[in-house]
Amino acid sequence: MNVIETKNISKLYKQADQEIRALDNVTINFKQGEFTAIVGPSGSGKTTFLNSIGGLDSPTKGQVLIDNKDITKLNSNQLIDFRLTNIGFVFQSYNLIPVLTAKENVEFIMLMQGASKSKRDKRALELLEAVGLKEQLNRRPNQLSGGQQQRVAVARALASKPKFILADEPTANLDSSSTANLLDIMSRLNEEERMTFIFSTHDQRVIDRANRIITLEDGKILSDINVK
């Protein structure tokens, strides 16, 4: 079953007198349980593509279907609600809330969804244990290493049990050990829970773990290879 399908999506930006085509008629689909790396040089359209399928940015033309629902037709409030229950995001810069503890950061999405305190507590503790941070649950982001902060970000992305996870260069600021730990966690969730992961990355360590590699250049798909 296709979790995500794009139909001829393009994204145009105007820069001075020039028109920049960040995406150029991209048509592709993703099935449940894929572990996909989107690769390509800087400026190839990787982040724009991720933002488009995640509803963070709107394509200039084309459709983005998630479970057959065209999210390009949703207004801003509908998009916020849709993202809240369907999509988990992991960013290169972590985007944790500095005044909240690790546990409170993980709980934040569930709080926005109106989940009960007992449900939030249980899920947050389960996830922090899963990412190896049970002992750090009361620490704030500035008391955690970069690798630990990224693992909190992954736990937060998983908190609402989304249909898929979008990760934009999630290992860019991590050392080899932290990267290996993070990829082990994501691979396990992918295999055990059939959770769909889509990465934009330059990192060969991520690419080596992927079961599908999509290469973008100048906003177009150059290749799409199933490797496992």
Q: Where are the domains of the chain?
A: 2-91+153-226
Token pair of 107 as six digits:
């709980």
* 70-117 tens-digit pLDDT: 999 999 999 988 888 889 988 877 889 999 999 999 999 889 888 899
220, containing H or E segment:
strand 220-226
Most confident segment among 5-9, 145-149, 187-191: 5-9
- Per-residue burial over 9-34, b = 16 or more CB atoms within 10 Å of its CB, e = otherwise: bbbeeeeeeeeeebbbebebebeebb
Name the DSSP letter for residue 177.
H
* Angle 129-92-66 from CA coordinates, rounded to 5°: 85
Assign 10 a pLDDT band (cuts: 50, 70, 90): very high
The rounded distance, in Å, linking the Cα atoms of 225 and 136 is 39
Class of domain 2-91+153-226: alpha beta
pTM of the model: 0.88
